């Protein structure tokens, strides 16, 4: 069994992902959550939980990662918080998780980033959105240099529509929307396919089945 630590498990992508992993015959999830009251959802799925605050110490994340085979970072500060939380969660939280993976000797790491995290995207972003893009840019850079078996997923505009199981994925795709449930399926496909190691790609809703699209990356 491949054990996967889902960081940001209580988010919408995280919940979809833990559900998919628990239904997988060769995987099991460990849901990293911030509050004990969030645990019941995952316990009902039969998933283990780890109570860790991303704003805490690297050692706390390391302890949660010590018995896992892969880490998925799906955490985010959310649109209702300010630039301070964006820095502490989307950047510092991601970097601490990467460092915890190294400390726990967990090589496989999947990062859910933003659609475009290039320098150009930072410069062109609105004043309110630029801190988020910058945070994701530097988190991605840290991961690329961390000597981990990484995959970076750049989703389009996220929606809560029902997942279709069909996407378009490539190094660059035209900006569009993508269902969070589809992204959870993309993560699962990446966990199943070691050929995605060392790669990053953009993904939006499309016409190609998820597994087929990811296998062709």
Q: Is 127 exposed, middle or buried (0-12, 13-18, 19+ CB in 10 A)?
A: exposed
* Residue 112 and residue 187 in contact, taking contact as beta carbons nearer than 8 Å: yes
Q: What are phi and psi of 67, to 5 degrees?
A: -115, 20
Q: Choosing from 115, 132, 138, 150, which is the catalytic residue?
A: 132
Cα atoms in the Cβ-side hemisphere of radius 13 Å centred on 138: 15
Q: For residues 70 and 52, is the Cβ–Cβ distance under 8 A?
A: no
Q: Is 115 an active-site residue?
A: no
**Which of 67, 70, 59, 57 shows the shortest CA–CA distance to 7?**
70
Active-site residue list = 132
């Amino acid at each position: 069994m491949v054990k996967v630590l889902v960081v940001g498990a209580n988010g919408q992508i995280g919940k979809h992902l833990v559900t998919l992993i628990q239904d997988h015959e060769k995987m099991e999830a460990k849901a990293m959550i911030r509050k004990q009251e969030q645990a019941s959802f995952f316990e009902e799925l039969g998933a283990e939980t780890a109570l860790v605050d991303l704003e805490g110490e690297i050692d706390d994340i390391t302890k949660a990662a010590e018995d896992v085979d892969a880490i998925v970072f799906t955490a985010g500060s959310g649109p209702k918080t300010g630039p301070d939380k964006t820095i502490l969660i989307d950047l510092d939280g991601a970097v601490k998780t990467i460092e915890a993976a190294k400390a726990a000797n967990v090589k496989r790491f999947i990062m859910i980033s933003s659609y475009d995290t290039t320098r150009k995207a930072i410069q062109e972003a609105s004043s309110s959105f630029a801190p988020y893009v910058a945070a994701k840019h530097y988190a991605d850079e840290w991961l690329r240099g961390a000597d981990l078996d990484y995959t970076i997923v750049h989703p389009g505009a996220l929606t809560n529509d029902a997942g279709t199981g069909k996407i378009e994925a490539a190094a660059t795709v035209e900006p569009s929307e993508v269902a969070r449930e589809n992204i959870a399926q993309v993560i699962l496909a990446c966990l199943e396919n070691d050929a995605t190691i060392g790669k990053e790609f953009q993904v939006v809703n499309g016409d190609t089945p998820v597994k087929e699209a990811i296998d062709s990356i």
